[in-house]
C-alpha cells in the first residue's frame, strides 16, 4: 500500500468546519444550564404521581443511589449475597435514562443483546435487534421484579446530603422526602450522560409557545404516547427541534409524520449510517443461550470487535462477529484494512491505512445522504465533515429520507447554532423562524467526574468534600474507590474501563467488584473498606503518565473531545485504564478472586 495522507482539500474542509463550530456562540460547557436549574426537580415527573410516604429513620446495610442500569445491576448482584439493600432514585421507577427518555421513536442503537443487562438471568429475549425505549424500560422493571427489588426501592426520592459519620462508621443520608437514615455502605450509580442540559440562549424565557427538552417529553403538547400513537396535536403546528445528535435523529422521523411543518435546526450534522433494525434472527441464539452466563460471551465479542483494536489488541483472525451491526462493522472494517497492509507493519503504514479507512468510511456515509435525499442543498447540508471517532456515530434507517417530505426543512446554521430565541420562534443567522413549539434536543452534561454529577454534597472522613478533593479531576483507586470516603463505591467507568459503547459491561464488572468488597468486609467480621493512600496515588499516577487523552483538539467540538477544550489535568485524569478495557476487566476479575483485595484496607 502506498503511504497516503488525507488529501489537503479534505483536511482543509475538516479544519474549516471545526473552526466555524469552535467560533460558534454557546458551544462551551459553561453555555449550558442543567435542566434542573430551570425546572423544579421535585415537580418535574410527568409520568407518575408522587406517592406520600413516611420518612425513613433506620439503618441499612447497603444503599444504592441511582436505579438505572448501574443501580439495578449492583442490587441484583448484592442479592446473591443476601445483603440488606435500599435503592433510591428521583425517578418514579427503575430504568434511569429509560424512565425519563420517552420521546417518540426512542430506541437504543446498541444491539439489545449487548445493551440490555441480565438477559441470561431473567431469561428474556428482546423482540428487536435494537430495542425501542418502552421495551427497555419494561426490562428494567422486569429486573426489579425478578430480583425482588421493588420492596427495597424508594422512588421520587432525591438525596440531598451524604455524609460519613466516623463515630458510627456509617453514611448519613438525607433526602427531599424527609428521610434521615444511616447506611453502612453506599454505592453511587449516578449515570454519565443523564443530566439534561439546555443552552442558555438569550430570549428563552420570552418564547410564547410551548417548549421542552427531549428527556422530559411533553405529550400534552404533541399528543401521542411513548408506545407510538401518532402525535395528533401537531397537525396545525410548526415545530422546531434544536439539535441533530443521537436523540434527534430518532425523533425527527416521528415528528415529521404529523407536524404541519418541522424545522430541524442543525449546528453540526451527525454521520448517520444504516441501522437495519428488525426482529432478532441470530443463528446462535438457541444454542448459545443454553449456557449459563451466556451474555458475557456476547459482551466479550462486542468488546473484541468494537473497542480492543483501538489499543492494538486484534482478536484472532476469523473471530466470528456474533452481532453483525454498525458498531462491530466499524471495528471489523478497520482490522481488515490493517491486515491488508503488505510487508512489515510500520507505524507510517498503519497511520496511512488508518487515514484511508477513515476517509473511505466517512465518504461512504456522506454519499448516503445523496442516495437518500433528492434535494442537493439539503443532502449537502447533512454531510458530516469530520473523522469517524470525532463525534458519536449515528445509525438510523428513516432519518435521512425524512428530509424528502414537503413539511420538513433543514435549517442549517452553518456551524453557528441558534442566535437567540424570540417571542415567536428561533433566530438563526439573523433570520427569525416563527414556530409554535420548540423541542430542545440539546443533549446531556457529560460528566467524567461523579462529584459534579451529584446534586448533593458527598462529605467523607474529616469533612473532606468530594467536590473539593476532585476539583482537578478524579482521584480514585480503580475508578471505584476514593481515600477518605470509606465504604463508598463508585459505579462508573472513568479511571476504570471507560467503555462508552456498551455501558452495561462496565456495570456488570463493577457490580461484581462491589459485591466482592462488601462480602470481604462483612465475611471477615469487619466494618469498613477503604482504598489505601498508596494504592490511590499509584493508580492516579499510572493514569496520568501511561494514559492517552482521546480528546483530540483537531476534532470538531463535542462531548467526545470535551467540547474541544484545552487538555488540562482534569482531562488527563478523565480517561480509562491505559491498557484497555479488556485488560481492566481482567485485572478486576483477578483482584476480586484473591483472598485479600489488593489496595484496600479492611478494618
Ligand atoms: P448530543 O449532545 O449528542 O446532541 C446535542 C445536539 O444539540 C447536537 O446536535 C448539538 O450540536 C446541538 N446543540 C447544542 N447546543 C446547541 C446550540 N446552542 N445551537 C444549536 N444546536 C445546539 O445529545 P443527544 O441527546 O442527541 O445524545 C446524547 C447521547 O445520549 C448520545 O451521544 C448517546 O450516547 C446517548 N443516546 C444514545 C442513544 C442510543 O440509541 N444508544 C439514543 C439517544 C441518545 P453540536 O453537535 O454542534 O454540538
Whether 247 lines ligand 1, by a CB cut-off of 6 Å, is yes
Determine the Cα–Cα distance for residues 361 and 350; give it in Å rounded to an integer. 16
Query: Ligand 1 mean position to 173 CA, how many Å?
Result: 34
DSSP secondary structure letter of residue 87? E
Q: What's the pLDDT at 66?
A: 96
pTM here is 0.95
Helix, strand, coil % in the chain, rounded to nearest 5: 40, 15, 45
- Beta-bridged to residue 173, according to DSSP, are 162, 181
CA distances from 286 to 112, 125, 294 (A): 16, 11, 11
Contact between 321 and 328 under an 8 Å Cβ cutoff? The reply is yes
Residue 503: all three cell numbers together = 455501558
Contact between 514 and 489 under an 8 Å Cβ cutoff? The reply is yes
CA distances from 307 to 182, 228, 280, 316, 336 (A): 40, 34, 23, 14, 15
Residue ranges of the chain that CATH labels 3.50.50.60: 7-37+197-275+376-440, 59-195+446-602
Query: Ligand 1 mean position to 443 CA, how many Å?
Result: 4
Q: What top-level class would CATH report for the domain 59-195+446-602? A: alpha beta
Determine the Cα–Cα distance for residues 294 and 307; give it in Å rounded to an integer. 20
DSSP secondary structure letter of residue 192? S
Nearest protein Cα to ligand 1, atom 22: 243
Contact between 216 and 119 under an 8 Å Cβ cutoff? The reply is no
- Among 247, 325, 327, 414, say which to mutate for ligand 1: greatest number of ligand atoms within 8 Å of CB: 247
Residue 5: all three cell numbers together = 495522507
Determine the Cα–Cα distance for residues 100 and 48; give it in Å rounded to an integer. 11
Closest ligand 1 atom to residue 563 Cα is 48
Nearest protein Cα to ligand 1, atom 19: 417
Residue 277: all three cell numbers together = 433494525
Whether 105 lines ligand 1, by a CB cut-off of 6 Å, is no
> Which homologous superfamily does the CATH classification assign to the domain defined by 7-37+197-275+376-440?
FAD/NAD(P)-binding domain (3.50.50.60)
Determine the Cα–Cα distance for residues 410 and 128; give it in Å rounded to an integer. 30
> Burial level of 312, CB count in 10 A (0-12/13-18/19+)?
exposed
Q: What's the pLDDT at 21?
A: 87
Determine the Cα–Cα distance for residues 486 and 488; give it in Å rounded to an integer. 5
Q: What's the pLDDT at 4?
A: 47
Regions of the chain short of the pLDDT cut 50 = 1-4
DSSP secondary structure letter of residue 238? E
Q: What's the pLDDT at 523?
A: 96
Hey, which bits of 308-443 come out as E strands? Answer: 394-395, 408-412, 420-421, 425-428, 431-434, 437-440
Q: What's the pLDDT at 32?
A: 79
Contact between 62 and 101 under an 8 Å Cβ cutoff? The reply is no
Whether 505 lines ligand 1, by a CB cut-off of 6 Å, is no
Determine the Cα–Cα distance for residues 420 and 587; give it in Å rounded to an integer. 50
- Among 202, 246, 381, 447, say which to mutate for ligand 1: greatest number of ligand atoms within 8 Å of CB: 246
Contact between 303 and 502 under an 8 Å Cβ cutoff? The reply is yes
- Among 128, 197, 442, 558, say which to mutate for ligand 1: greatest number of ligand atoms within 8 Å of CB: 442
From the list 291, 320, 293, the residue with the least C-alpha distance to 304 is: 320
Amino acid at each position: 500500500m502506498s503511504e497516503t495522507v488525507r488529501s489537503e482539500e479534505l483536511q482543509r474542509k475538516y479544519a474549516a468546519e471545526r473552526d466555524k463550530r469552535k467560533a460558534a456562540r454557546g458551544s462551551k460547557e459553561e453555555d449550558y444550564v442543567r435542566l434542573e436549574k430551570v425546572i423544579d426537580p421535585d415537580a418535574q415527573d410527568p409520568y407518575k404521581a408522587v406517592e406520600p410516604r413516611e420518612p425513613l429513620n433506620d439503618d441499612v446495610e447497603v444503599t444504592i443511589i441511582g436505579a438505572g442500569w448501574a443501580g439495578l445491576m449492583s442490587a441484583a448482584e448484592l442479592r446473591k449475597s443476601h445483603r440488606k439493600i435500599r435503592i433510591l432514585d428521583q425517578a418514579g421507577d427503575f430504568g434511569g435514562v429509560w424512565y425519563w427518555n420517552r420521546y417518540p421513536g426512542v430506541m437504543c442503537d446498541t444491539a439489545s443483546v449487548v445493551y440490555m443487562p441480565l438477559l441470561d438471568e431473567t431469561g428474556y429475549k428482546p423482540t428487536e435487534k435494537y430495542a425501542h425505549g418502552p421495551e427497555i424500560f419494561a426490562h428494567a422493571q422486569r429486573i426489579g421484579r425478578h430480583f425482588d427489588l421493588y420492596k427495597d426501592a424508594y422512588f421520587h426520592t432525591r438525596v440531598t446530603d451524604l455524609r460519613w459519620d466516623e463515630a458510627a462508621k456509617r453514611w448519613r443520608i438525607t433526602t427531599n422526602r424527609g428521610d434521615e437514615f444511616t447506611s453502612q455502605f453506599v454505592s453511587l450509580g449516578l449515570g454519565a450522560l443523564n443530566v439534561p442540559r439546555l443552552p442558555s440562549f438569550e430570549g428563552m424565557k420570552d418564547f410564547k409557545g410551548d417548549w421542552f427538552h427531549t428527556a422530559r417529553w411533553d405529550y400534552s403538547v404533541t399528543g401521542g404516547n411513548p408506545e407510538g400513537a401518532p402525535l395528533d396535536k401537531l397537525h396545525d403546528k410548526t415545530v422546531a427541534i434544536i439539535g441533530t445528535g443521537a436523540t434527534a435523529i430518532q425523533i425527527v422521523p416521528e415528528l415529521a409524520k404529523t407536524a404541519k411543518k418541522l424545522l430541524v435546526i442543525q449546528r453540526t450534522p451527525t454521520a448517520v449510517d444504516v441501522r437495519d433494525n428488525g426482529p432478532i434472527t441470530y443463528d446462535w441464539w438457541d444454542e448459545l443461550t443454553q449456557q449459563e452466563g451466556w451474555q458475557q460471551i456476547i459482551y466479550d465479542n462486542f468488546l473484541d470487535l468494537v473497542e480492543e483494536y483501538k489499543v492494538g489488541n486484534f482478536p484472532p483472525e476469523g473471530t466470528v462477529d456474533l452481532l453483525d451491526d454498525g458498531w462491530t462493522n466499524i471495528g471489523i472494517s478497520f482490522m481488515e484494512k490493517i491486515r491488508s497492509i503488505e510487508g512489515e507493519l510500520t507505524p507510517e503504514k498503519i497511520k496511512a491505512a488508518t487515514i484511508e479507512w477513515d476517509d473511505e468510511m466517512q465518504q461512504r456515509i456522506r454519499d448516503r445522504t445523496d442516495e437518500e435525499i433528492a434535494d442537493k442543498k439539503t443532502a449537502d447540508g447533512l454531510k458530516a465533515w469530520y473523522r469517524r471517532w470525532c463525534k458519536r456515530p449515528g445509525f438510523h434507517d428513516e432519518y435521512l429520507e425524512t428530509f424528502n417530505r414537503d413539511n420538513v426543512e433543514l435549517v442549517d446554521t452553518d456551524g453557528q447554532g441558534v442566535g437567540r430565541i424570540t417571542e415567536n420562534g428561533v433566530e438563526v443567522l439573523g433570520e427569525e423562524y416563527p414556530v409554535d413549539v420548540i423541542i430542545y434536543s440539546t443533549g446531556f452534561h457529560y460528566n467524567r467526574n461523579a462529584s459534579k454529577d451529584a446534586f448533593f454534597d458527598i462529605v467523607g472522613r474529616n469533612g473532606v468534600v468530594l467536590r473539593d478533593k476532585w476539583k482537578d479531576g478524579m482521584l480514585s483507586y480503580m475508578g471505584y474507590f476514593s481515600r477518605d470516603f470509606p465504604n463508598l463505591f463508585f459505579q462508573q467507568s472513568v479511571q476504570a474501563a471507560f467503555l462508552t459503547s456498551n455501558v452495561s459491561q462496565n456495570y456488570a464488572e463493577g457490580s461484581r467488584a462491589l459485591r466482592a468488597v462488601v462480602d470481604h468486609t462483612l465475611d471477615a467480621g469487619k466494618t469498613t473498606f477503604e482504598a489505601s493512600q498508596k494504592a490511590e496515588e499509584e493508580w492516579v499516577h499510572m493514569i496520568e503518565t501511561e494514559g492517552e487523552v482521546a480528546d483530540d483538539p483537531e476534532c470538531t467540538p463535542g462531548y467526545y473531545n470535551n467540547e474541544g477544550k484545552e487538555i488540562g489535568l482534569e482531562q488527563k485524569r478523565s480517561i480509562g485504564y491505559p491498557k484497555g478495557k479488556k485488560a481492566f476487566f481482567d485485572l478486576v476479575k483477578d483482584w476480586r478472586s484473591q483472598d485479600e483485595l489488593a489496595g484496600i484496607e479492611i478494618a
